[in-house]
Amino acid sequence: MTTTTGTTAVTGAVGAAHTRLEGRDKVTGAARYAGEIPFAELAHGWLVLSTIARGRVRSVESAPVLAMPGVLTVLHHGNAPRVDGSYAGMLGRPDPIVEVFQHDRVPYVGWPVALVVAETSEQAREAAEALVVQYDEEPHDIAFFADRPGTYTPENSPAAQAETEKGDIEAELAASAVVVDAAYTTPEEHHSSLEPHAATARWDSGRLDVVDSNQGSMWVADELAKLFSLDPASVRVRSEHVGGAFGSKGVRPHQILAVMATTVLHRPVRVVLTRRQMFSLVGYRSPTAQRVRLGADTDGRLRAFDHQAQSLTSTVHEFIERSADMGRVMYDADAHHTVNRVVPLDVPTPTWMRAPGEAPGSFALESALDELAEKIGMDPIALRARNEPDAGPVSGLPFSSRNVLACFQEGARRFGWADRDPRPGTRREGRWLLGTGTAAATYSSGVVPSTAAVTAETDGTFTVRITAADVGTGARTALALIAADALEVEPGRIRIQIADSDFGPAMIAGGSMGTRSWGWAIMAAARELREQLVLGGDIPPQGITARSDTGAAVSALAKKERHSFGAQFAEVAVDVTSGEVRVRRMLGIFAAGRIVNPLTARSQFIGGMTWGLSMALHEEAIRDQASGGHVGADFAGYHFAANADVPLIEADWVDDPDADDPVGIKGIGEIGIVGAAAAIANAVWHATGVRHRDLPIRPDRVLLAGTRPAGERDA
Amino acid sequence: MALSTSSAITLNINGEKHTLPVDHRTTLLDALREHLDLTGTKKGCDQGQCGACTVLIDGRRAVSCLQLAIASEGRVITTIEGVADGERLHPVQQAFLDLDGYQCGYCTPGQICSAIAMIEEHAAGWPSAATADVRPEAGAPPLTADEIRERMSGNLCRCGAYVSIVQAVAQAAEAEAAQTPTTARQFSGPSGPGDLAHPAGTTDAEMTA
């Protein structure tokens, strides 16, 4: 591997399997998460959420609750400290849910209307449940369906084009020998991190100190400073251990409410969301309605490519689930059209959730490719090989590297794809119909300017400080390995400190960009430190520290199509008596840059694929049209894959270092889920002869759709 | 006369007696986390659906969020902080660490406590829904991957670490069986790594009807 910035791999830490640095703390229970740091005089906040989907809060009847034992205060729109949400943060304008208790409007069920703070959590909970809130209710509308009134195409921006178009789609479709025109839906899905969002806030010697569970402590600190009009240097946010995030752990009401309450009460206040509250307060993945039209010649070459996606957002903020973006990277055609539309409804604002856009988008697109392969009578992998683009189909830019076919080749070999009978409904074991399916995966590879500090200590160790977050990815360990190689020392001589906003600006754990962005900054600081150490001399008691800022280097990157790729394979068994779909095995092969720590990377890939299985077969949040709220906002009503749902899943990778990254990283957080649900849906078709275009593929849907053995299917 | 809403109780946790006043509404989970600073036991849902708060009560696994503290007097309670032998990790802990049976780590204490009890339940011959032959005289079924998956399904993991959790439980069960070769315990058949390491392309023995 060559890199542009001269790394070495003398110690070989990068690329060798290492158990997690914090692993012992995690298996012994010693690792403390946000809600677990003790504070003297701690008070407990409990949220009260709206029970109506649209209207106004008429009154919050605090007086009886304030008389209850232990209750310290009841915050609501009538008495809460003012905050200013009219700013652009690191990721743009905030969801107005951060402007908690600033007005009496209620835009959806589960909007925060009050916070009860008490001496104990039991007292706070009982008082919160006793609090009477009166509303003036208005009619609401939460019905999401394809092309419903109110759907619009957002404005294009340079960073995110809503719509792309070239050529004449209708003409090319008309000229195509084979056409697929199919509609797909995916349901509302929730991140459901096992650790609920939690924050403890206190004022400490004139500084606001927040112990939180988040994906970016600098991000949260910066937005808290903006919201409360504070000097950024006076806000410190820490988040040492994070019990899962998946896109949901940004700036959310719990942090703001903890700050409000500690400001009012002059003592530390902890606010922990309940599982039920998480369903309306931390974002979710929008349901989608998608239409894919593909037109091809008989040899499989695409003439027309059209992917139209629709998602929903709230009435207070525009968030777009960019499901149609995947085709801009994957497939070219003479006429090419993609669009992401959105409709505002009386529901909470969706947000990023693991592989935003590509997760639902790949289900529709990679299912449609499989349908096209079926119609042409072509192997699905050969169809994809036929349509490999030389450059970005929309951008025209070259790919930094594109090893999707290598993934398919390796995956097909290991999965035994060559032995597959392409006809559906031909394999049966007792009451089980068996089938296999495949799909492509891709996710963008990005990097964001970050800062890091590396200190040479007098005892021969090195301390790395960076506002990274380890949300379960293994980032802490990966960064220590990167530092070890950069400094040419054994990993045991690296001490790494992360997730403290005092360490300076850095990328969040998100978009598969965390470890790449942080690793780059650590490489740069380590290089600077080594140059200082070459000068010789004793190390002073405070050590010698070098700092880096990758802003200039990152912005100097040439414009290219930069992505990870992969190939997903699945085998399913479909019970013809119950309609149950069981996944028997999955295999994912990825081309996702240099793999820093094979042990944790494999876990992350398999975790993503497990999400794909869960998305294909299980996950579905149901809203009640009458109330506007969820039915069963808990783990019984919202089932994600349990142990018994998950078979042996294997993940591996092909060599694919990014030549423009100092470590060679591309990022691996999202790509495991991309295409996984489509591979399973395609396998269900192969087993049964029936296409399932609506997720999840529930037993009732399978039973109602029936099965069509080979020979009885459509020509 | 006002009814008392709190009591002083004594809990036996990890071999130590703790006397503390508790609100009668306090769950065992909150008593551990908020009153005894034993925060290794996690709160994922607070309603018995996720298993993150699993502890051992009188040697059996239980979700501590559905157990009132005041009803826990006189019980022998073991939490994640009490399963290691001093500095030496319990074999289940060691296997989770070595095989990366976790990611964020939040469900991990519950998974480990659950696995410890699960291995004993299996060794004692308790059947599960995945057991083919449930007759008492059949004895303990082979501890296959399917048996582990079924028996560990009360512990949710959102990171999706189930594949390595199953491997870790299998490895720990084998290690424990090797340490205590009692006649009633059998781990024959395709248990653990042998079963799991078969190459992709062969079928899992999962659903042969």
- What does the pLDDT look like over A605-619, one tens digit per residue? 999 999 999 999 999
Confidence of residue A160 (pLDDT cuts 50, 70, 90): confident
When pLDDT is averaged across residues A253-273 and rounded to a whole number, the result is 98
Known catalytic residue at A138: no
Contact between chains at B43 and A35 (C-beta distance less than 8 A): yes
Residues of A in contact with B103 (CB under 8 A): 244, 472-474, 600, 603-604, 607
Q: What is the pLDDT of residue B183?
A: 44
Cβ-count burial A556-589 (b if 16+ within 10 Å, e if not) = eeeebbbbbbbbbbbbbbbbbeebbbbbbbbbbb
Q: What is the pLDDT of residue A536?
A: 84
Query: Is 60 exceeded by the pLDDT of residue A10?
Result: no
Residue to test with chain A: of B33, B114, B159, B195, most A Cβ within 10 A:
B159
Residues of B in contact with A603 (CB under 8 A): 100, 103, 159, 161, 164
Contact between chains at A650 and B38 (C-beta distance less than 8 A): no
Query: Is 90 exceeded by the pLDDT of residue A158?
Result: no
Contact between chains at A29 and B79 (C-beta distance less than 8 A): yes
Query: Is 90 exceeded by the pLDDT of residue A518?
Result: yes
CA distance linking residue A202 with residue A267, whole number of Å:
6
When pLDDT is averaged across residues A6-11 and rounded to a whole number, the result is 50
Q: What is the pLDDT of residue A708?
A: 73
Residue B116 to residues A508, B40, B109, B122: CA-CA distances in angstroms? 36, 16, 11, 10
Nearest to A643 among B30, B152, B206 (CB): B152
B106 min Cα distance to partner chain A (Å): 5
Domains and CATH numbers, chain B: 6-82 (3.10.20.30), 91-196 (1.10.150.120)
Q: How far is CA A212 from the centre of its chain?
A: 19
CA distance linking residue A469 with residue A547, whole number of Å:
19
Count Cα atoms within 13 angstroms, Cβ side, for A208: 31
Contact between chains at B207 and A275 (C-beta distance less than 8 A): no
Helix and strand totals (H; E) in chain A: 17, 26
A669 min Cα distance to partner chain B (Å): 11
Write the pLDDT tens digit of every residue in A639-659: 999 999 999 999 999 999 999
Write the pLDDT tens digit of every residue in A390-429: 999 999 999 999 999 999 999 999 999 999 999 999 999 9
Give the chain A residue nearest B156 (alpha carbons): A642
Closest CA to A49 of A357, A266, A250, A271: A271
Please report, as a single letter, which amino acid is at residue A475: A
Q: A83 is written with which tokens?
A: 């905050």
CB A222 within 8 A of CB A90: yes
CA distance linking residue A344 with residue A149, whole number of Å:
10
Query: Is 80 exceeded by the pLDDT of residue A1?
Result: no
Query: Is 60 exceeded by the pLDDT of residue B182?
Result: no
Contact between chains at A29 and B80 (C-beta distance less than 8 A): yes
Residues of B in contact with A607 (CB under 8 A): 103, 159-161
Sheet holding A581-591, edge to edge: A427-429, A432-444, A563-575, A581-591, A648-653
CA distance linking residue A425 with residue A683, whole number of Å:
10
Give the chain A residue nearest B26 (alpha carbons): A122
Cβ-count burial A454-480 (b if 16+ within 10 Å, e if not) = bbbbeeeebbbbbbbbbbbbbbbbbbb
Contact between chains at A635 and B156 (C-beta distance less than 8 A): yes
Q: Which residues contact B87 (CB under 8 A, 6 or more apart)?
A: none
Residues of A in contact with B63 (CB under 8 A): none
Contact between chains at A642 and B153 (C-beta distance less than 8 A): yes
Nearest to B161 among A27, A432, A603 (CB): A603
Is B15 exposed, middle or buried (CB count within 10 Å of its CB: 0-12, 13-18, 19+)? exposed
- Angle at CA B93, nearest 5°, toward B90 and B94? 85
When pLDDT is averaged across residues A444-463 and rounded to a whole number, the result is 97
CA distance linking residue A700 with residue A580, whole number of Å:
8
**Given the residues A99, A374, A571, A670, the one annotated as active site:** A670
Confidence of residue B139 (pLDDT cuts 50, 70, 90): confident
Residue holding tokens 């091809």? A296
Mean pLDDT of chain A: 96
Contact between chains at A614 and B160 (C-beta distance less than 8 A): yes
Q: What is the pLDDT of residue A281?
A: 98
- Angle at CA A431, nearest 5°, toward A430 and A436? 90
CB A293 within 8 A of CB A181: yes
Q: What is the pLDDT of residue A156?
A: 86
Domains and CATH numbers, chain A: 23-31+448-555 (3.30.365.10), 357-446+557-607+648-715 (3.30.365.10)
Sheet holding B76-78, edge to edge: B16-23, B6-13, B76-78, B54-57, B60-63
Q: Which residues contact B194 (CB under 8 A, 6 or more apart)?
A: none
Residues of A in contact with B152 (CB under 8 A): 643
Residue to test with chain B: of A19, A26, A27, A471, most B Cβ within 10 A:
A27
Residues of A in contact with B25 (CB under 8 A): 122, 126
Residues of B in contact with A642 (CB under 8 A): 153, 156, 162
Write the pLDDT tens digit of every residue in A316-366: 999 999 999 999 999 999 999 999 999 999 999 999 999 999 999 999 999
Q: What is the pLDDT of residue B178?
A: 87
Give the chain B residue nearest A612 (alpha carbons): B160
Q: What is the pLDDT of residue A8?
A: 44
Q: What is the pLDDT of residue B187?
A: 38
Q: What is the pLDDT of residue B179?
A: 81
Residue B137, number of CB atoms within 10 A of its CB? 6
CA distance linking residue A9 with residue A14, whole number of Å:
7
- Angle at CA A29, nearest 5°, toward B80 and A281? 115
CA distance linking residue A369 with residue A358, whole number of Å:
15
B67 min Cα distance to partner chain A (Å): 15
A358-376 and A676-688 helices, crossing angle to 10°: 30
Is A179 exposed, middle or buried (CB count within 10 Å of its CB: 0-12, 13-18, 19+)? middle
Give the chain B residue nearest A192 (alpha carbons): B158
Contact between chains at B209 and A607 (C-beta distance less than 8 A): no
Nearest to B209 among A121, A194, A431 (CB): A431
Query: Is 50 exceeded by the pLDDT of residue B50?
Result: yes
When pLDDT is averaged across residues B75-83 and rounded to a whole number, the result is 98
Nearest to B80 among A19, A28, A603 (CB): A28
Q: What is the pLDDT of residue B208?
A: 31
Residue holding tokens 């919050």? A60
Contact between chains at A414 and B149 (C-beta distance less than 8 A): no
B180 min Cα distance to partner chain A (Å): 23
Give the chain B residue nearest A246 (alpha carbons): B159
A313 min Cα distance to partner chain B (Å): 25
Residues of A in contact with B145 (CB under 8 A): 648
Contact between chains at A635 and B38 (C-beta distance less than 8 A): no
Residue A242, number of CB atoms within 10 A of its CB? 26
Query: Is 70 exceeded by the pLDDT of residue A715?
Result: no
**Would the pTM of this model clear 0.90, i.e. be above it?**
yes
Residues of A in contact with B39 (CB under 8 A): 29, 32-33, 36
Contact between chains at A643 and B30 (C-beta distance less than 8 A): no
Confidence of residue A159 (pLDDT cuts 50, 70, 90): confident
When pLDDT is averaged across residues A632-640 and rounded to a whole number, the result is 97
Residues of A in contact with B147 (CB under 8 A): none
Q: What is the pLDDT of residue B2?
A: 63
Nearest to B81 among A28, A242, A608 (CB): A28
Contact between chains at B160 and A192 (C-beta distance less than 8 A): no
